[in-house]
Amino acid sequence: MIRILVINGPNLNLLGMREPEIYGRKTLQDLEELLRPLSIERGIQLSFFQSNHEGAIIDAIQQGRLSADGIIINPAAYSHTSIAILDALKVVGLPAVEVHLSDITQRESFRHFSYTSQGCIKTIAGKHFQGYVDALDELKKYIHLHS
């Protein structure tokens, strides 16, 4: 069983009511309910973490060293600011896929660059919840190839 930790960053707890024209009307709970059965089909054990706090996200990534084989992360706005989260991804050395619901390359210029994606094997943006599903498949493929 592959163990994957799904980390969602600041303001994603308010998914569904937060700028729905950009992020859609589905909630974080809906995302978990979508991913659970899909992960079971794929032989993946998922755990979910969300925080609005940079340090808490770093702690969760560090703890993943002992409890996960891979990470799916949407660092939200911290993507564009946090060298500390990038360093945490590098230090744990687990394969990570970065997901953005929206297409950050088509939005304000300050969203075009992501520090954290530089610690990830791949970035998927603009596919909404499907991006997380694709991230599961990417990680599964990568972990099989490298184990």
**Catalytic residue IDs:** 23, 100
CB of 131 to ligand DQA, least distance (A): 8
Angle between helices 28-41 and 129-145 (to 10 degrees): 30
Q: Taking every pair of C-alpha atoms in the chain, what is the biggest distance, in angstroms? A: 41
CB of 111 to ligand DQA, least distance (A): 4
Contacts of range 19-22, beta carbons closer than 8 Å, 24 or more positions apart: 22/101, 22/102
Q: Under rule CB under 6 A, how many of the chain's residues touch ligand DQA?
A: 10
Q: For ligand DQA, what does the binding mask look like between residues 17 and 56, x meaning CB under 6 A?
A: ----------------------------------------
**Stretch 72-111 residues interacting with ligand DQA (CB under 6 A):** 74, 76-77, 79, 100-102, 104, 111
Q: Which DSSP symbol is given to 147?
A: -
Q: For ligand DQA, what does the binding mask look like between residues 106 and 145, x meaning CB under 6 A?
A: -----x----------------------------------
CB of 70 to ligand DQA, least distance (A): 19
Torsion of CA 66, 67, 69, 75, to 10 degrees: -100
Q: Which is nearer to ligand DQA, 109 or 147 (CB)?
A: 109
Kind plus residue range of the DSSP H or E element containing 73: strand 70-74
3-state secondary structure of 97: strand
